[in-house]
C-alpha cells in the first residue's frame, strides 16, 4: 500500500539582509501563516488624471504596492513546557526592532549633536525582504506596525498577541540601480510577467464585441 506524503507547507516571514551584498543577517519566521494577505496597487501614471492626452497611456514607474497582514503569536504551549519565561516579549521585540535604530546609533547621534554637528545622517537599516513563497520575495519598508496583546501570564508577560503589518514594496525607483534590492524587485516583477503569459485571455467575441 502506497502511503501519501503530505507536502510541507512553506512558512512566511521576513529576512533582514545586507543592503550591499544581499547576505542574510536574520530570518524572522512567522509562527503561523496569516489566514489573509491583502494587497493594494496604486498605478503611477504621468501627470494628473486630467493631464495631457498624449500622456494618458504612459506609466512613469511600477505601481505603489502595499501588503497588509495579521500575524498571530501564541506562547501557551511553550509556557506549559517551561520554555517561555518572558512570554512573547522576544518574538515581539524581534519584529519591533525592524523599525528601531540601534541604541549604539542613537548614542552616536547624541554625541555628534552635543559637539555641534549640524547634519546627522539617518541610520541605515538592513534591507528587509518579505517572503511569501518562492514567487514572492520582495524588498519592503514597514509603513504601519501595531500590536494587540490578548492574554498574559501571571507575570503579565504577553502570551498571545496579534501583530498587524503594512508593508510597502520597494521598487526600482526606491532603490540603488544595480543594487541587490533593485535586482530582487526586478526578479519579482519578472515572475509576474512570466505568470501573466500563462493566462489564456480569451477573445473579444466572448465579450459580445468585435474590435
Q: What is the pLDDT of residues 140-173, one digit of tens each?
A: 999 999 999 999 998 999 999 999 999 999 999 9
Beta-carbon contacts of 38 under 8 Å, excluding residues fewer than 6 positions away, are 67, 68, 69
Domain of residue 25: give its range. 13-46+58-101+115-129+137-192
- pTM of the complete model: 0.84
Q: Is residue 87 part of a domain?
A: yes
Residue 125 lies in a domain: yes
Phi, psi of 82 (to 5 degrees): 70, 25
**Which residue, among 167, 160, 17, 11, has the nearest Cα to 92 in the 3D structure?**
160
- Whether residue 203 lies inside any domain: the answer is no
In a domain, 2, yes or no: no
Does residue 201 sit within a domain? no
Q: Is residue 29 part of a domain?
A: yes
The phi, psi pair for 58, rounded to 5°, reads -95, 145
204 domain-assigned: no
The count of structural domains within the chain is 1
Residue 53 in any domain: the answer is no
Length of the chain: 211
Cβ neighbors of 163 (< 8 A, separation 6 or more) are 70, 71, 73, 92, 95, 145, 146, 147
Chain segment 33-90, per-residue pLDDT in tens:
999 999 999 998 876 655 566 777 788 889 999 999 999 999 987 777 777 789 999 9
Amino acid at each position: 500500500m502506497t502511503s501519501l506524503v503530505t507536502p510541507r507547507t512553506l512558512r512566511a516571514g521576513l529576512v533582514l539582509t545586507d543592503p550591499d551584498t544581499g547576505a542574510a543577517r536574520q530570518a524572522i519566521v512567522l509562527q503561523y501563516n496569516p489566514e489573509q494577505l491583502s494587497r493594494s496597487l496604486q498605478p503611477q501614471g504621468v501627470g494628473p488624471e486630467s493631464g495631457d492626452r498624449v500622456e494618458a497611456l504612459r506609466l512613469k514607474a511600477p505601481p505603489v504596492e502595499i501588503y497588509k497582514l495579521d500575524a498571530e503569536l501564541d506562547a501557551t504551549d511553550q509556557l506549559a513546557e517551561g520554555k517561555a519565561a518572558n512570554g512573547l516579549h522576544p518574538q515581539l521585540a524581534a519584529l519591533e526592532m525592524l523599525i528601531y535604530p540601534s541604541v549604539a546609533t542613537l548614542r552616536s547621534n547624541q554625541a555628534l549633536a552635543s559637539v555641534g554637528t549640524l547634519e546627522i545622517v539617518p541610520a541605515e537599516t538592513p534591507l528587509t525582504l518579505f517572503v511569501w513563497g518562492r514567487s514572492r520575495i520582495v524588498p519592503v519598508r514597514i509603513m504601519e506596525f501595531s500590536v494587540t496583546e490578548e492574554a498574559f501570564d501571571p507575570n503579565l508577560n504577553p502570551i498571545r498577541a496579534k501583530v498587524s503589518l503594512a508593508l510597502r514594496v520597494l521598487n526600482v525607483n526606491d532603490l540603488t540601480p544595480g543594487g541587490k534590492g533593485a535586482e530582487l524587485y526586478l526578479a519579482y516583477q519578472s515572475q509576474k510577467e512570466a505568470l501573466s503569459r500563462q493566462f489564456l485571455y480569451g477573445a473579444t467575441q466572448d465579450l459580445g464585441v468585435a474590435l
